[in-house]
């Protein structure tokens, strides 16, 4: 365990630690472009040069391993001059088109120029002209003039996505990033090259010109695209309503989690946020009047729902009611659903498993075939001793008649196909649909209750490994929509039960006390990196 001294601060680190990693632990900033912890070391940008005692030349901090007694300086005049010199070299051929560059505001050229450069241009020659605004894939656009040739993207497609679409062509001052012949940057992880690009060379076509980054507010969340539960940051524009066609969520960015997704996220997850601000969002309760769905207020809707549930129960008993929950819901939502329907109303026909006719595939990296974020949590909470199997009813195509169906976030028409879905729904006298977006299934319901999306709620998801992870609301629920657990609470209160939860945190406290698998968990323990359920088996993909 060597001990290193950086800028008079000492630290003992494991063998093999590089100076840049040690400095990070000491909160000393060493500028870098090519170094990325998730990629191999290129050492080519020469920004991380540091002075090491007893070494005549400056050394790159990214590639120099710490040895015992090493004394490093990152602030000496020699280092500053070298770093400033390198920055000058990077900028001489940079087009300085920050005004039209989406990276402006989170660009490391800007950041380091303000911190380490601040020199006036000495370039008296014309800048080298290169390819600009070149579409290199479905999600990525390339501007080779802005490129600092750090090769992060090239190493990413070599080492992480292993798809080898891009490379550096030509040499010397003419070097530039290009697509390999007959290649398109269209792998499922292509969006990550935008994240790792320290400058504006690779920008996101989806985000292009939609919003300036300094307008964005950020909230830590978890991707709802599949059961991997990649950690993300929901970046929303809450300041300038006229940007991005009025969209609030502007983009999702991966958030580092060593245990789950590291720095990466797949494109399916990255661009899977569009439904949040889609015009199809349900923003008020609706009730079927004839063929049309007519709006009504929440208290009427809750009374209508509770009245129908009571009626169905009185007429046909608890067995005539079926509750279909969804693995898209948070643990808190699911818990309140079970508590109200299962415990308080005594309905034991609760399930969330709907067979999907669309076969979805996983890849060998992050994406999983199960495209629901909380299947594991739903199993732990809803199947806790329950033996009801919805799938049998659906597949048996029986003519048995039921009283009421309460459907959460499940587009049956999409999953089962139009005919089977209609046949199944036709078995029920009354259908209540609770969900965030309008779809064909919601159109078939008698009563529609608007629920908030995952970006608008606090709560937890449990990924396929049983890792419980926090999600934070980045924006307010749209219109009159409510987090699913609040919808259920409203129904429960209308039905005369005391559901006084103020927040998702309070629900989770009770969840942890009630559901055995969640025993001992709390939001504090989960923290930002999540926490695994004790002794659980991963759900098969």
Partner 1 sequence: MNRRDLNFAERLYLSEVFKGLWLTSGHFFSNMKKHLARQLGFTRIEKGAVTFQYPEERRPFSPRYRSRHRLTQREDGSPRCVACMMCETACPARCIYIVAGEHPDPNIEKYPARFDIDLGVCVFCGFCVEACPEDAIRMDTGIVEIAAYSRKEMIYHIEDLLQ
Partner 2 sequence: MPELALLTHVQHRNLMTVEEYRQTGGYEALRKVLLEMKPDQVIEEVKKSGLRGRGGAGFPTGMKWSFIPKNSEKPKYMVVNSDESEPGTCKDRVIIEKTPFLLLEGIAISSYAVGSSTCYLYIRGEYYDQAMILKQAIEDAYRHGFLGKNILGSGYNLDVYLHRGAGAYICGEETGLLESLEGKKGWPRLKPPFPAISGLYGCPTCVNNVETLAAVVSIIQNGGDWYAALGTPKNGGTRLFCVSGHVKKPGTYELPMGIPLRSIIYDYAGGMKDDRKLKAVIPGGSSVPILTADEIDVKMDFDSVAAIGSLLGSGGVVVINEDTCMVKALLRIARFYAHESCGQCTPCREGTTWLKKTLQRVYEGDARQAELDQVLSIAFNMMGTTICPLADAAAMPVRSYIQKFRHEFEYHVQHKCCDVKPAVRI
Q: How many Cα atoms are found within 13 Å in the side-chain-facing hemisphere of 214?
A: 4
Partner touching 45 among partner 2, partner 1, none, CB below 5 to 8 Å by kind: partner 2
Q: Does 238 participate in binding partner 1 (rule CB under 8 A)? A: no
- List the one residue out of 361, 155, 368, 187 whose CA is nearest residue 260: 368
16, 99, 290, 540: residue in contact with partner 1 (rule CB under 8 A): 99
Partner touching 132 among partner 2, partner 1, none, CB below 5 to 8 Å by kind: partner 1
Q: How near is the Cβ of 129 to partner 2 at its closest, in Å?
A: 13
Instruction: Count residues binding partner 2 (CB under 8 A).
Output: 36
Q: How near is the Cβ of 212 to partner 1 at its closest, in Å?
A: 5
Q: Does 243 participate in binding partner 1 (rule CB under 8 A)? A: yes
Partner touching 60 among partner 1, partner 2, none, CB below 5 to 8 Å by kind: partner 2
Alpha-carbon distance of 526 to 522, in angstroms, equals 6
Q: Does 41 participate in binding partner 2 (rule CB under 8 A)? A: yes
Partner touching 92 among partner 2, partner 1, none, CB below 5 to 8 Å by kind: partner 2
Partner touching 125 among partner 2, partner 1, none, CB below 5 to 8 Å by kind: partner 2
Cβ contacts of 241 within 8 Å, gap of 6 or more? none
Q: Does 49 participate in binding partner 2 (rule CB under 8 A)? A: yes
Token pair recorded at residue 285: 């309760």
Residue 99 or 385 with smaller CB distance to partner 1: 99
Contacting range for partner 2; rule: CB under 8 A; set: 79-87, 316-324, 336-344, 437-445: 79-87
For 286-295, which contacts have Cβ atoms below 8 Å and span 24 or more sequence positions?
286/447, 286/448, 286/450, 287/446, 287/447, 287/448, 288/445, 288/446, 288/447, 293/443, 293/448
- Which residues make beta-bridge pairs with 11? 4
Q: Does 121 participate in binding partner 2 (rule CB under 8 A)? A: no
Q: Does 82 participate in binding partner 2 (rule CB under 8 A)? A: yes
What residue spans of 176-278 are helical by DSSP H? 191-196, 267-270
Q: How near is the Cβ of 162 to partner 2 at its closest, in Å?
A: 16
Alpha-carbon distance of 132 to 330, in angstroms, equals 44
Q: Are 19 and 73 in contact (CB under 8 A)?
A: no
CA torsion through residues 23, 28, 31, 35, sign: positive
The binding track of 136-175 with respect to partner 2, each residue x by CB under 8 A or -, is: ------------xx------------------x-xxxxxx
Q: Does 89 participate in binding partner 2 (rule CB under 8 A)? A: yes
- What secondary structure, in 3-state letters, does 351-419 show? ECCCCCCCCCCCCCCCCCCCCCCCHHHHHHHHCCCCCCCHHHHHHHCCCCCEEEEEEECCCHHHHHCHH
- Give residue for tokens 């280092």: 79
Contacting range for partner 2; rule: CB under 8 A; set: 39-47, 318-326, 347-355, 508-516: 39-47
Alpha-carbon distance of 142 to 25, in angstroms, equals 34
Alpha-carbon distance of 118 to 183, in angstroms, equals 39
Q: Are 409 and 387 in contact (CB under 8 A)?
A: no
Residue 172 or 540 with smaller CB distance to partner 2: 172
- Give φ, ψ of 148 to 5 degrees: -105, 10
Instruction: Count residues binding partner 1 (CB under 8 A).
Output: 17
Q: How near is the Cβ of 100 to partner 1 at its closest, in Å?
A: 4
Partner touching 476 among partner 1, partner 2, none, CB below 5 to 8 Å by kind: none
11, 104, 128, 283: residue in contact with partner 1 (rule CB under 8 A): 104
Partner touching 399 among partner 1, partner 2, none, CB below 5 to 8 Å by kind: none
Q: How near is the Cβ of 30 to partner 2 at its closest, in Å?
A: 15
Alpha-carbon distance of 503 to 457, in angstroms, equals 10
Q: Does 42 participate in binding partner 2 (rule CB under 8 A)? A: yes
The binding track of 197-236 with respect to partner 1, each residue x by CB under 8 A or -, is: -----------xxx-x-xx---------------------
Partner touching 185 among partner 2, partner 1, none, CB below 5 to 8 Å by kind: none
Instruction: Give how far the C-alpha of residue 397 lies from the chain's centroid of Cα atoms, to the nearest Å.
Output: 37
Q: Does 482 participate in binding partner 2 (rule CB under 8 A)? A: no
11, 92, 98, 184: residue in contact with partner 1 (rule CB under 8 A): 98
Where residue 121 falls (left for φ over 0; alpha for ψ -120 to 50; beta otherwise) is beta
Token pair recorded at residue 271: 């661009």
- Give residue for tokens 């415990």: 343
15, 53, 68, 97: residue in contact with partner 1 (rule CB under 8 A): 97
Q: Does 45 participate in binding partner 2 (rule CB under 8 A)? A: yes
Q: Does 26 participate in binding partner 2 (rule CB under 8 A)? A: no
- List the one residue out of 474, 256, 462, 261 whose CA is nearest residue 373: 462
**Interface residues toward partner 2, by CB under 8 A:** 41-47, 49, 57-58, 60, 63, 65, 81-82, 85-86, 88-90, 92-93, 122-125, 128, 148-149, 168, 170-175
């Amino acid at each position: 365990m060597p001990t290193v001294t950086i800028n008079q601060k000492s630290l003992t680190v494991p063998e093999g630690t590089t100076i840049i990693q040690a400095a990070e632990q000491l909160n000393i900033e060493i500028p870098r472009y090519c170094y990325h912890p998730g990629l191999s070391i290129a050492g080519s940008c020469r920004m991380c040069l540091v002075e090491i005692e007893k070494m005549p030349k400056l050394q790159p901090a990214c590639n120099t391993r710490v040895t015992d007694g090493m004394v490093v300086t990152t602030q000496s005049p020699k280092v500053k001059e070298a770093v400033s010199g390198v920055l000058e070299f990077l900028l001489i051929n940079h087009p300085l088109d920050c005004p039209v560059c989406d990276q402006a505001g989170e660009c490391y050229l800007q950041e380091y120029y303000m911190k380490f450069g601040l020199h006036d241009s000495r370039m008296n020659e014309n800048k080298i002209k290169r390819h600009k605004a070149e579409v290199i894939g479905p999600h990525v656009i390339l501007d080779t003039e802005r490129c600092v040739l750090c090769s992060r993207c090239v190493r990413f497609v070599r080492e992480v996505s292993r798809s080898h679409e891009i490379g550096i062509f030509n040499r010397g001052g003419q070097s530039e990033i290009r697509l390999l012949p007959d290649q398109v940057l269209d792998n499922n992880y292509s969006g990550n090259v935008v994240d790792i690009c320290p400058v504006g060379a690779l920008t996101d076509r989806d985000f292009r010109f939609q919003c300036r980054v300094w307008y964005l507010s950020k909230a830590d969340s978890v991707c709802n695209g599949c059961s991997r539960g990649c950690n993300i940051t929901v970046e929303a524009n809450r300041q300038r309503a006229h940007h991005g066609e009025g969209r609030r969520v502007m983009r999702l960015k991966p958030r580092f989690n060593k245990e789950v997704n590291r720095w990466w996220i797949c494109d399916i997850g990255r661009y899977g946020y569009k439904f949040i601000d889609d015009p199809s969002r349900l923003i008020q309760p609706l009730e079927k009047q004839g063929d049309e769905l007519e709006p009504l207020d929440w208290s009427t809707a809750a009374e209508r729902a509770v009245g129908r549930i009571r009626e169905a129960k009185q007429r046909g008993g608890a067995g005539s009611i079926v509750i279909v929950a969804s693995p898209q819901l948070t643990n808190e939502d699911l818990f309140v659903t079970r508590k109200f329907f299962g415990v308080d109303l005594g309905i034991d026909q609760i399930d969330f498993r709907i067979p999907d006719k669309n076969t979805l595939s996983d890849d060998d990296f992050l994406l999983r075939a199960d495209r629901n974020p909380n299947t594991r949590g739903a199993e732990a909470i809803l199947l806790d001793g329950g033996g009801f199997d919805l799938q049998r009813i659906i597949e048996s195509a029986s003519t048995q008649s039921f009283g009421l169906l309460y459907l959460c976030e499940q587009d049956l028409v999409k999953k089962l196909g139009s005919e089977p879905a209609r046949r199944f729904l036709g078995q029920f006298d009354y259908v209540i649909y609770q969900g965030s977006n309008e779809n064909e299934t919601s159109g078939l319901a008698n009563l529609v209750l608007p629920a908030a999306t995952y970006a608008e709620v606090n709560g937890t998801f449990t990924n396929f490994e049983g890792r419980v992870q926090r999600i934070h609301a980045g924006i307010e629920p749209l219109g009159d929509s409510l987090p699913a657990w609040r919808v259920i609470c409203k129904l429960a209160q209308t039905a005369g039960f005391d559901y006084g939860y103020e927040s998702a945190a309070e629900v989770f406290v009770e969840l942890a006390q009630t559901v055995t698998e969640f025993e001992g968990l709390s939001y504090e323990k989960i923290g930002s990196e999540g926490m695994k359920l004790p002794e659980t088996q991963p759900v098969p993909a």
